Amino acid sequence: MKNLLSKELKLCVPTQTWIFVALSMCICIPSWPVMTSYIYVIAGFMPLFPIALANRDLLYTSILPVKKTDVVKGKVLLMCFLQLVSILWSIPFAVLKVFMSASMPPEDLYPELGVNPALFGFILIMFMMFNLIYVPWYYKKPDTKNAAAQLVSMFACMIYMGIITAVFIAVPGLADFINNLANPVSLGVNIGILVAGLLLFIGGSALANYLGGKAFQKVDL
């Protein structure tokens, strides 16, 4: 597993992908919908797969002494790694946003899901959705399926993000409740969403790996 991830990081990640991962720092922008910052890491996957194809990565990895399904596992590990890096990288900027927002007049701020554990739970669910839609689809036919799989899985994530954002704006008091971490009930809900997000992210990505591997097994290289 370590070898696979190390191989992906050394050979497969173009600079633009790292730039997109770093864009999760946009979370610090006040009144900018918080979840938007994490769509960028998904957009950063756009060049990842076509570049790997151009470098004959599928054949190279398949020739290494690994199972054919490990070709998929390597990419899923990389995707999860980059997604988690984008979250970790954004944390200091999220704290900055809290300070910046505190100094702004309340009328300039709209009710939104703030920087709290629930946010990261929702983000992890979004990443899981992307992985689960994209990976099995792409590995059915890696030569041709990239564009369609990317667009549909990204679109699904944007709809999900839009719904979450809209719900917190539309339901009166919901944003205040979820952002009030001093309230033990709110804190419990926050932690519950984070744990659920983490479990779904791990389980969904593992399922994406399994389904992608199963599809790729049938692909003749």
Q: Which two tokens stand for residue 41?
A: 């890491």
Of the ranges 1-9, 18-26, 42-50, 183-191, which one interacts with another protein (CB under 8 A)?
A: 1-9
Measured between alpha carbons, how far apart are the two ends of the chain, in Å? Answer: 22
Identify whether the C-beta of residue 34 lies closer than 8 Å to the C-beta of residue 27. Answer: yes
Residues 201-220 that bind another protein (CB under 8 A): 217-218, 220
Task: Convert residues 66-85 into a mask of x (bound to another protein by CB under 8 A) and - (unbound).
Answer: xxx-----------------
Please report whether residue 147 would count as binding another protein according to CB under 8 A. no
Q: Whole-number minimum distance, CB 80 to another protein, in Å?
A: 20
Cβ nearer to another protein, comparing 52 with 193 = 52
Q: Which two tokens stand for residue 79?
A: 């995707």
Cβ nearer to another protein, comparing 65 with 105 = 65
Q: Based on the number of CB atoms within 10 Å of its own CB, is 99 exposed (0-12), middle (13-18) or buried (19 or more)? A: exposed
Cβ nearer to another protein, comparing 56 with 91 = 56
**Token pair 């917190």 in the structure block, residue:** 168
Residues 9-68 that bind another protein (CB under 8 A): 10-11, 55-57, 59-60, 62-68
Q: Based on the number of CB atoms within 10 Å of its own CB, is 104 exposed (0-12), middle (13-18) or buried (19 or more)? A: exposed
Q: Whole-number minimum distance, CB 22 to another protein, in Å?
A: 22
Q: Whole-number minimum distance, CB 12 to another protein, in Å?
A: 9
Angle between helix axes 69-102 and 184-217 (nearest 10 degrees) is: 150
Q: Report how many residues bind another protein under the rule CB under 8 A.
A: 21
Cβ nearer to another protein, comparing 65 with 172 = 65
Question: What is the 3-class SS of 18-85, one letter each residue?
Answer: HHHHHHHHHHHCCCCCHHHHHHHHHHCCCCHHHHHHHCCHHHHHHHCCCCCHHHHHHHHHHHHHHHHH
Q: Whole-number minimum distance, CB 68 to another protein, in Å?
A: 6
Torsion of CA 3, 39, 194, 34, to 10 degrees: 140
Q: Whole-number minimum distance, CB 205 to another protein, in Å?
A: 22
Interacting residues toward another protein by CB under 8 A: 3, 6-7, 10-11, 55-57, 59-60, 62-68, 217-218, 220-221
